Amino acid sequence: MSLPQITTTGQHNQKSASADPQVARNGSQPSGNDFLTMMVAQVQNQNPLNPTDGTEYLTQLGMMSAVESLESMKKGLAGMNIGMTNVEMLQATNLVGKKVLMEANGEVEVSAGQVIEGRVQFDQSVDTAKVMVYDEKGKVVDEIKLGPKGAGMAEFKIDGDKLGSGNYTFEVVAEKGDNAWTQKMMIAAEVESVNIPSDGGTIMLSLKGLGKMSMYDMREITA
């Protein structure tokens, strides 16, 4: 957020303004001391027949205090953001060589000969469940039947030879009695490396056999 530049409209002569180097600095944002110096110069050089109302000085002083408070808050938030980014980077680098569960929020690239370890977390037991597989056009190309499952983590595998190379999306459909619902699938994979953008963007995890996925899609560290 950019802060407004503070300017004064009071009259003062050139000698008074240039005598203090703090006032003579052009293009820099005035500090509290600069503001007080300018206000004193304004008082000294005001028209004695038409003096400035004292409330105007108080208003200007209040504006300067507000700007300084916002600037301090801005610096504090920037420092907090840097600290959080450093923590995320440290956590990400510690993931290399570990197995994680990633939520499949978008398309997953599948190659022939590849076997993907799928996971789904059920909060309750289900009478039946299946994984719907869609191609890039949104057409159903396969169903992976899981059958009845108890509450907890269910595991299954996705055969790349059966699907063929391409990009696919996955959706879990579960039923219990008259109720049916959908939920997202997770993928288990080993973290091979971490990509940390220099511009502070999203940290990406390079997963064995899957390519890159956002660190924010990670749901669990399994090993």
CA dist 179 and 130 (Å) reads 14
We find that the CATH architecture of domain 99-221 is Sandwich (2.60)
- Alpha-carbon torsion 100, 101, 104, 105, what sign? negative
**Nearest of 103, 101, 99 to residue 223 by alpha carbon:** 99
How many Cβ atoms sit within 10 Å of the Cβ of residue 75?
10
Q: Specify the amino acid at residue 215.
A: M
The predicted model scores a pTM of 0.53
Q: How many alpha carbons fall within 13 Å on the CB side of residue 102?
A: 29
State pLDDT tens for residues 14-70.
444 444 444 444 555 555 567 677 777 777 777 666 666 667 666 766 777 676 677
CA dist 91 and 216 (Å) reads 12
9 contacts 39 by C-beta, under 8 angstroms: no
107 contacts 168 by C-beta, under 8 angstroms: yes
CA dist 189 and 204 (Å) reads 14
Residue 98 pLDDT greater than 90, yes or no = no
Q: Specify the amino acid at residue 186.
A: M
197 contacts 106 by C-beta, under 8 angstroms: no
CA dist 35 and 74 (Å) reads 20
What was the pLDDT predicted at 19?
Answer: 45
State pLDDT tens for residues 141-167.
999 999 999 999 999 998 989 888 998
Domain boundaries, given as residue ranges, for the chain: 14-92, 99-221
